[in-house]
Structure 1
Amino acid sequence: MSYTIIGFGNIGRALAMAFSRKGIEVSVATTRDPESFAADAAAIGPKVIAKTLAEAVKADIIFLAVRFESHPDVAKALPTWQGKTIVDVTNAYGVPPEKLGGQPSSLVVAQAFSGAKLVKGFNHLVAAVLDQDPAVHGGRRVVFLASDDDDAAAEIGVLAENLGFAPIKLGGLSEGGLLVHARGNSWGQLIFKDLVKFD
């Protein structure tokens, strides 16, 4: 299984740190030339590899960690996203609900990435928290996952556990997923909630 993170801002870097901490190889990409951020990627860890967008989208699992407004540009990188799982880490805060057609933002993202399985996840924590070791006081930091595809949610749940997090599945995008969606000037009720699960 191969992994990539599209977007190398604070959230993208925090995700790269999570992979690096567990020694799992991950590629990182933006719309910029990878030479411009290769040193920053290498500084996170030897298994964080800067790639072009065209190379990075060959991965099986793709974390979308760009600004919500930028997702259509990323979606143009492939004619079809069949066989790929997209983890939507974007937040559509400030985007008017009418621009989303009244839908949760992840459904809008899912339409752009036609053919992909989509999981909303890892978006409710701010970068400074996501950046920290998820092992906290003998427990594991919680990440919420929502998807209309149970298999995809299970797959990302296993990855979250491998990264040291405690995944909690919220159900479909239009049901439990609304708890981790931003719309207009409001945040879902679980956004910013830093919870720890003790086994």
Structure 2
Amino acid sequence: MSYAIIGFGNIGQVLAKAFAREGIDVSVATTRDPESFASEAAAIGPTVIPKRLAEAVKADVIFLAVRFEAHPDVAKALPNWQGKIIVDVTNAYGVPPEELGGQPSARFVAQAFTGARLVKGFNHLAAAVLDQDPAVHGGRRVVFLASDDEVAATEIGALAENLGFAPIKLGGLSEGGLLVQARGNSWGRLIFKDLVKVD
């Protein structure tokens, strides 16, 4: 299984650090030339590999860590996303629900990535919290996952465990997923909740 993070701002870099902590190779890309962020990637570790967007999207699992408005630009990188899992880390705070056709933001994102299986996840914590060691007080920091594809959610749950987190599946995008999605100018009820699962 190969992994990529698209977007290398605060959240993208924090996710890259999580992979680096566990020695898992991950490609990182933006719409910019990889040389422009190569030094930041190198500072995180040798398993974080800067690539061009066209190369990074060849990965099996792609973390979408760009601004919500930028997701259509990323989606244009491939004509078809069949066989790939997109982990939607975006937040559509401030986007009027009518612009999304009244549907959850993750389902709106999913429509742009034709053929992909989409999992909403890793988006409910602020970057500063997500950046901390997920091993806390004898337990593991919780990450919430929502998807209309149970198999994809299970695969990302296994990855989350490999990264040291405790995944909790919330069900489909239109049900539990709403708990971790912004809607207009309000946040879902589980956004910013920093929880720890004690084993």
Return the TM-score normalized by structure 1.
Answer: 1.00
* Letter matched to residue 96 of structure 1: P
Q: Give the AA of the match of 1:117.
A: R
Name the SS of the counterpart of 1:146 in structure 2: strand
1:58-93, Cα deviation, whole Å (9 max, x unpaired) = 000000000000000000000000000000000000
What letter corresponds to residue 44 of structure 1 in structure 2? I
Alignment deviations for residues 137-196 of structure 1 (CA, whole Å, 9 cap, x no partner)? 110000000000000000000000000000000000000000000011000000000000
- How many positions carry a matched residue from both structures? 199
Find the aligned partners of 1:102 and 1:31 in 2 and give their Cα distance: 29
SS at match of 2:179: helix
Q: Does 1:50 align with 2:68?
A: no
Query: Corresponding residue for 1:122?
Result: 122
Matched, 1:93 2:64: no
User: In the alignment, which residue of structure 2 is the partner of 1:162?
Assistant: 162
1:120 shift after superposition: 0.1
Aligned-partner residue type, residue 183 of structure 1: R
Structure 2 residue 79 is the aligned partner of structure 1 residue 79: yes
1:136 paired with 2:136, answer yes
- Superposed structure 1 runs of 4+ greater than 6 Å apart: none
- Separation in structure 2 between the aligned mates of residue 183 and residue 13 of structure 1, nearest angstrom: 25
Partners of 2:23 and 2:138 lie apart in 1 by 21
Alignment match, 1:5: 5
Instruction: Compute the displacement of 1:41 (Å).
Output: 0.4
Question: For residues 149 and 80 of structure 1, what CA distance do their matches in structure 2 show?
Answer: 18
| 2:151 equivalent to 1:151 | yes
Secondary structure of the structure 1 residue equivalent to 2:92: coil
- Describe the SS at the equivalent of 1:188: coil
The code of the aligned residue for 2:128 comes to A
| Distance in 1 (alpha carbons) for counterparts of 2:133 and 2:31 | 28
Letter in 2 for 1:40: E
Rounded Cα–Cα distance in structure 2 between residues aligned with 1:111 and 1:172? 15
Q: How far apart in 2 are the matches of 1:183 and 1:12? A: 22
Does structure 1 residue 60 correspond to structure 2 residue 60? Answer: yes
| Structure 2 counterpart SS, 1:183 | coil
Cα distance in 1 for residues equivalent to 2:34 and 2:151: 32
- CA distance in structure 2 between the aligned counterparts of 1:60 and 1:15, rounded to whole angstroms: 16
State the Cα distance separating 1:105 from its structure 2 match. 0.2
Tell me the C-alpha RMSD between the 2 structures.
0.3
> Percent identity among equivalent residues?
85
Gaps in structure 1 of 5+ consecutive residues: none
Instruction: Give the secondary-structure state (helix, strand or coil) at the position aligned to 2:80.
Output: coil
**Structure 2 residue 32 is the aligned partner of structure 1 residue 29:** no
Q: Distance in 2 between matches of 1:171 and 1:78?
A: 28
